[in-house]
């Protein structure tokens, strides 16, 4: 999939995934990979700047947790502001999809 398309949707994907439960970075990347059947070919390193930006904006909050194995993981959860932002972004995304689909349908004919 075009990585440029992914860039614009990464924050929406992150907020959406975190609306399910708190997750750490690798878990988010693995879930995106699993849920999209590997359709997103992205640099995993891009995930963390996006996560940190969302955290700076107060849409998500991160917290370190130490596992029994001794590994430390930073779990991110959605904040109330983030939940509202997710609703807005989801609505905007749906509107965008509808608009794009209408254009495609007119151009190509109904499927």
Partner 1 sequence: MDPLERYLDQVCRSIGGPRPLRDHVRQELREHLHDAAARHRAAGLSEEAAVAQALAEFGRPEQVRSELEATHGHRAMAVVIDTALRWKESTMRAKWLWATGAHLGLAVVIALEALFLTFLVMFIVPKFKKLMADGIIDPAVLDEQGAMWMPHFLGNLAAVTGNYTTHLVLGAAVLWGLFEWRVKSENKSLMRLTVMGGAAVKLLAVIVIATGSMVVSFCLAMPAMGPMARPFAAEQVATIDTSVAAVEPAVAKQDWTAATEQADRASAALARLTVGPALASLTGREPPTADELRTQTRSAQDHLRAVRQAVAEKDAGRATAALAEFRTAFAPVREAASRSGK
- Which residues are at the interface with partner 1 (CB under 8 A)? 24-26, 29-30, 43-46, 48-49, 52-53, 56, 64, 71-74
Return the number of the residue (2 or 109) whose C-beta is nearest partner 1.
2
Write down the least CB distance from residue 18 to partner 1, Å: 15
- Cβ-count burial of 85 within 10 angstroms (0-12 exposed, 13-18 middle, 19+ buried)? buried
Write down the least CB distance from residue 19 to partner 1, Å: 21
User: 65 - beta bridge partners?
Assistant: 73
Return the number of the residue (53 or 83) whose C-beta is nearest partner 1.
53
Write down the least CB distance from residue 76 to partner 1, Å: 10
Write down the least CB distance from residue 37 to partner 1, Å: 17
Return the number of the residue (52 or 102) whose C-beta is nearest partner 1.
52
């Amino acid at each position: 999939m075009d990585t440029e398309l992914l860039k614009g949707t990464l924050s929406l994907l992150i907020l959406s995934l975190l609306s399910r439960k708190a997750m750490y970075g690798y878990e988010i990347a693995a879930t995106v990979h699993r849920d999209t059947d590997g359709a997103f070919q992205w640099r995993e390193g891009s995930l963390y700047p996006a996560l940190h930006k969302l955290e700076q904006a107060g849409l998500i909050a991160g917290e370190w947790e130490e596992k029994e194995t001794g590994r430390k993981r930073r779990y991110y959860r959605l904040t109330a502001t983030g939940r509202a932002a997710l609703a807005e972004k989801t609505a905007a995304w749906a509107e965008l999809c509808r608009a794009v689909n209408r254009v495609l349908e007119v151009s190509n004919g109904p499927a």
